Structure 1
Amino acid sequence: MFAQTREPDAKPSKEVVQYMDRFQQIIKKNSLFADSIDWGQLRNEVQEKVQGLATVEECKPVIDHILLTLRNAGDKHSFFMPKEKAANWTSSSYEGKQAESRYLGNGIGYIKVPELVSMNASAGQTFSHGIRSQLEALETQNKITGWVVDLRHNTGGNMHPMINGLQALIGEGTYGYFILPRHKYKKERPLRSWSGKEKEQRAAEAATTQRRVAVLIDSLTGSSGEMVAIALKGLGNAKFFGQPSAGYTTTNQNFKLSDGAYLFLATGYMADKNRNPYLNGIAPDVVVEHSPDAAQDKTIEAARRWLLEPK
């Protein structure tokens, strides 16, 4: 908690003015939705709301107002992360979920990839290694002819360790694009995966990418979870099962602020390796009715049936 020092008739402190000016400048220059905002009106509203504020900590309601303006302009993805939460975001002591896998029989391997709410390099390496090692173990112990990649309830976080972990299925090279309409020079940024492994090992992994991949999504597959799904969407041997995804497919760029907080701002959107854009989420190829946890998983069963069909 912080002490309230607001005096409504007093001018805001220099620190507050600079902080809020910088916050608005970042959005105006970089936001995918910047052109849909009345910046004159917003500046006036911010100037009114910061009156009497003495510290950056007191700016949170003003920040919330700016983000609400972004929401009303069509941005459902950008968010503000206070410095306390940002410290946990980069901490090496990540205790979130890790990937889970099992053999489903009949040559089908299953891997469930959860969210990864960490930007710490060590935590990311542990996460991606867990995915890779489980894929390799299933390959070693069984004759795998098809894969189920379960991204249901993957609400996002850090996409890159997820992509790295699934590289044996996604393959090397370009797996998608960030489309950045407001970038001055580089409107399209290719996303590439490269292992640096020996030629023979890459050839073996290339054979893996030719197997069918059933991707499971639902309404809680969001943000980076959707980015991973889009990376798989570009594969010619993939099919999607479940429910439409959450629709947080804009790409969030992080901007560190002077107090250690972060603004995660939607600056573009993702396209698959064939440059098909995804602005409003991902629709499954096969819609499957949600089944309660205690019942037979209808989505997995639908995926199994497709994987066992003759090619």
Structure 2
Amino acid sequence: MSRQQRDALDAMLRTAPRAETPPTPQEQRDGFAAAMTRPAPQDVATRRTLLGGRPTLELEPAGASGRGRLLYLHGGGYVIGSPDTHAGLAGELARRAGLRAMSVDYRLAPEHAFPAAVDDGLAAYRELLAADTDPRNLVMAGDSAGAGLSIATLLAAREAGLPQPAAVVLFSPWVDLTLGGASIHSKDDADPIFTGADLRAYADLYVGAGDRAHPLASPLFADLAGLPPLLVQVGANEVLLDDAVRLAGRAAADDIEVTLDVGPGLPHVFQHHYDRLDEADAALDRAARFLTTHLGTERLAPAR
């Protein structure tokens, strides 16, 4: 793997300008979309649809398996991001795994505070099951807040008596909105993207005066018993490192099959930089293989 690539990515991420006054949520969304949007890969067809009453981007790779389905929940601190900004990442994971994916445009804070995002995730999951999707043929994935939302969605599904999917992949999960992890402080200089203050601002908009330790807001504090196998990938150079490490430990304590995959010298959701960072391509291959292994499809498309 290339140290030169990692250093170049770190330097690029540190050049992102910081506003002198806090931007509005819409300004944040516009800036994020302009800087971070990657379109779906060329061999992944996209279509606008609805799932659980919410706009959804369907991504179908050429030659996708007929039975496997991937439900993807994008990141963005519950405030920014969309299926369009994450079409590249979701589409690339879907392409490598040979799965048709559904990326849900769940409602964002502060206009729609907690638990609106969880309600939308559950509604999407419920509709997939109601459409005769066998849960054994269904997998989930998400990044950052979307990874935390993936776990919250499955906790809500468990409480509703719904079956669990075959497996879940989590990229840099944000699962503790109380910001209790030591890496919030210890990785502050190493993280080229976030500070603890950034995360606190997102939590303020999403939960407000509510209980930030609520298990559906901070799944780290939930009983995870009964959840499917988890693959947790995280970069060592991010303030959310301890969220991933503690989540993996909590899952293991609750007798869940879990794999923790830490990338040395890598930033938050480094998988987004596939095709220009060797570690991102390798991580997406491992994620795709994890999903196909638990689906029993064993199809892995090569990186280009």
TM-score using structure 1 length? 0.36
Flag the structure with larger Rg.
1
Looking at secondary structure, tell me which structure has more strand per residue.
1
TM-score using structure 2 length? 0.36
